[in-house]
Amino acid sequence: MNTPLRQYQPTATMIKILKYSFYDLMRSRWSYVYFLFYLLLGFVLLFLNNELSKAVITLMNVIIVLVPLIGTIFGVMYFYNSKEFTELLLAQPIKRSSIFLGQYFGVAGSLTVSLVLGLGIPFTLYGLFQSKAIWDFSLLLITGAFLTLIFTAIAFNIALSNENKIKGFGYAVLAWLFLAVIYDGLFLMSLIVFEEYPLDNLSLLATMFNPIDLSRTLILLKLDISALLGYTGAIFKQFFGTNLGLFVSIIMLFLWTVIPVWRLSYVAKRKDF
Amino acid sequence: MGRIGVLYCFLLLLFANHLRAGTITVCGSCEVKTIKKGIAVAADFDTLLIKKGTYKEFNIQVTKPLTIIGENYPVIDGEDNGEIITIVSDNVTIDGLFIINVGTSYTADYAAIRVVQSENFLIQNVVLEKLFFGIYLEKSKNGRVYHNKIIGDAVDEYNSGNGIQLWYSQNIVVERNIVQHVRDGIYLEFSDNITIENNISSDNLRYGLHFMFSNDDIYKDNTFENNGAGVAVMFSKRIKMLGNTFKKNWGTTSFGVLLKEINDAEITGNTFEENTVGISIEGSNRINYSKNNFIKNGWAIKVRGACYSNTFIHNNFMYNSFDLAYNSNLNDNIFEENFWSDYTGYDLDKNGTGDIPYRPVKLFSYIVNRTPETIILLRSLFMDIIDFSEKVSPVFTPDELVDAKPLMKKIK
């Protein structure tokens, strides 16, 4: 190309790499498959429920399990698959953080776009904007997007720290399994073991430290299932129901995104490739 | 008798009627200007016709068998001074009045209309607003409360009264009333043989219907919606609850119906929809639950203990977060031929009932009963997994608590 020589701009390079990754994923079929899956899920749910608010509840179950899983697996797969391209880029005078962050945002961005469009289109067609469920649905999409960002970041971290593909894949799935299932098991055990003690603040804290639990609780309380939660629910409602609680939760989700992303760029800078 | 005979009879009837009951008209420009005066001048079995207007009166004592009829809803304004109408005579009819501003007191239960130790009364088409207690029946018999509208403005439980209250009363029909925004919509204490039918009791502070120490009562086709706590039925025997709707009693301490120490009752054809707990049962025995619909409740049925020989047959349990909560391992209650939307079994022999039994108590429900805080794990993947494993091989949930013949299709 005949572009004049420019000064090196890290952000612009990052965005360029982001674009490459994004279009690369768009060209590969997986993005479409993911998008079509959500599109179909949305239509089927709405067809069966025919009521937006009920569909949102069912959708929550899917989102808090599937979105993290797909984020994790996709992240690991993409990282290992594009290793040669990454090594090529590393040979160029480009900042390392730009390479890895660009790739990360490319993957996470395309997954998020698939999720938001895939679910957004059917719900919009079924009259989301006239419905009261719009805020619940928006919250669902926001937490879904956050979960994608968080778990893709975790997957990238694991892949970066493990040269061995099988090992990296195993750890990534284990990380998902831990946060989605095992954590709740330990949480439950501790609640039962310490049932003699006041547990409300403990459970509030325990919820905060797991992005999946945090998303689930946020959505549950918004969906007015809180009445089921009795006394504990009242305390949770007091916390999450207020603007402060929502704010703190979003901050927590944000931290869950920022810390792995920061570690990603930190490790990438120092790693010997 | 012939034509003359008929005419004679008719005249006699007309004449006799005139003799028996005169009509006294009360209005602002009439000879009789107040209701109190009207009652004072009336003879037994007279009719008091109250014309449209506002009457600022309270403590009206109806001491004679009278028919008091309002024309175009005359307003009786108590100006918050106390009780408005007190009936202390048999055979009194009150019809078509609009009563407002009953006095509030912390020592006396002022009512808009109180019936004391009287029989054969009829209270109908009355509208009550800004009240303390609405219609208060005290030690009365054989009466009818029909088609009244009671709209309160209760905010706190301690300084509000009940819409329709029955105390030591017998053989009374409460029918087609609308009660809203009071403490308890309909309250019964020590009242037997009462029929409560087609009423709508909603948005009340505490209970839509509250029932204590009252036996042999029937309530039928009523709607109880969005009350603070739902409906409480306590310490009563031989109650029939038929075709009522309990819905949207949604809150941390709400339920559709609370049954406490109820024996030999029949609960049939009711709908429980979107309540935190559909029916909460405590110390209740020999109750037949049949053909009820439990739809989208948090818990359809919560059994709290000491409940024996109850039968649940032909009910629909649909889309409840928990179908049943049970706090003991001992089970003496029968669940049979119900429809459970959570049932995942099959029916190979095509006889309409599933081939493998359904276990209505989930492990999660058992855990939540033990440690209520664990409810925070509702709808988590972990809970679904352990529920599934418990379903496959039950360890914790009561072994014999099964529906051996779960229906494949819901009962219409």
Answer for the pair B328, B351: CB distance below 8 angstroms, yes or no: no
Of B91, B113, B87, give the one whose Cα is nearest residue B46: B91
What is the rounded distance in angstroms from the CA atom of residue B86 to the CA atom of residue B116? 7
How many C-alpha atoms does A157 have within 13 Å on its Cβ side? 18
Other residues' Cβ atoms within 10 Å of the Cβ of residue B412: 5
Query: What residues contact residue A29 under an 8 Å CB cut-off, 6+ apart?
Result: none
Q: Is residue A250 helix, strand or coil?
A: helix
Q: What is the mean pLDDT of residues B239-246?
A: 94
pLDDT at A92: 84
What is the rounded distance in angstroms from the CA atom of residue B316 to the CA atom of residue B412? 9
Of B173, B200, B167, B168, give the one whose Cα is nearest residue B185: B200
Q: What is the mean pLDDT of residues B356-370?
A: 87
Reported confidence tier of residue B2, pLDDT bands at 50, 70, 90: low
ipTM above 0.85, yes or no: no
CA distance B256 to chain A (A): 13
pLDDT at B9: 52
Q: Is residue A155 helix, strand or coil?
A: helix
- The rounded average pLDDT for each run of 10 residues, N- to C-terminus, in chain A (273 residues) is 55 80 77 89 84 76 89 92 87 85 89 91 84 83 94 95 93 95 92 84 86 88 67 69 80 93 90 76
Q: What is the mean pLDDT of residues B72-80?
A: 92
Answer for the pair B322, B300: CB distance below 8 angstroms, yes or no: yes
Determine the longest span between alpha carbons in chain A, in angstroms.
74
Chain B interface includes A205 (CB < 8 A): no
pLDDT at A225: 64
Supply B6's token pair: 């008929």
Please say whether the dihedral angle defined by the alpha carbons of residues A180, A185, A186 and A192, taken in this order, is positive or negative: positive
- Residue written as tokens 């968080």? A150
> Phi and psi (nearest 5°) for A131?
-95, 155
Q: Does pLDDT of B19 surpass 60?
A: no
CA distance B371 to chain A (A): 6
User: What tens digit of pLDDT does each residue of B368-407 get?
Assistant: 888 887 888 888 889 888 888 888 888 877 778 889 999 9
Stated length of chain B: 412
Range of weakest confidence among B11-25, B208-222, B315-329: B11-25
Q: Does pLDDT of B20 surpass 60?
A: no
Reported confidence tier of residue B1, pLDDT bands at 50, 70, 90: very low
pLDDT at A147: 95
More confident call, A228 vs B284:
B284
Stated length of chain A: 273
pLDDT at A27: 73
CA distance A93 to chain B (A): 46
Q: Does pLDDT of B15 surpass 90?
A: no
> Which of A65, A212, A227 is opposite residue B251, by nearest beta carbon?
A227
What is the rounded distance in angstroms from the CA atom of residue A268 to the CA atom of residue B68? 92
Answer for the pair A113, A18: CB distance below 8 angstroms, yes or no: no
pLDDT at B394: 81
Q: Does pLDDT of B322 surpass 70?
A: yes
* Residue B270, CA distances (Å) to B65, B221, B279 in order: 39, 8, 11
CA distance B320 to chain A (A): 11
| Closest residue, chain B, to A176 (C-alpha) | B381
Other residues' Cβ atoms within 10 Å of the Cβ of residue B334: 15
DSSP secondary structure of A76-121: HHHHHHTHHHHHHHHTSS--HHHHHHHHHHHHHHHHHHHHHHHHHH
> Phi and psi (nearest 5°) for B128?
-120, 130
Beta strand residue intervals within B297-398, DSSP E? 299-303, 311-313, 316-318, 322-326, 334-336, 339-340
Q: Does pLDDT of B213 surpass 80?
A: yes
What is the rounded distance in angstroms from the CA atom of residue A70 to the CA atom of residue A68? 6
Q: Is residue B25 helix, strand or coil?
A: strand
Q: What is the mean pLDDT of residues B294-315?
A: 90
Chain B interface includes A177 (CB < 8 A): no
Phi-psi region of B350 (alpha: psi -120 to 50; beta: other; left: phi over 0): left
Of A233, A245, A248, A268, give the one whose Cα is nearest residue A89: A268
> Which of A182, A192, A232 is opposite residue B376, by nearest beta carbon?
A232
pLDDT at B77: 93
Chain B interface includes A201 (CB < 8 A): no
Q: How many helices (H) and strands (E) does chain A have?
A: 12, 0
What is the rounded distance in angstroms from the CA atom of residue B227 to the CA atom of residue B251? 10
Contacts of B252 in chain A (CB under 8 A): 226-227, 229-231, 233-234
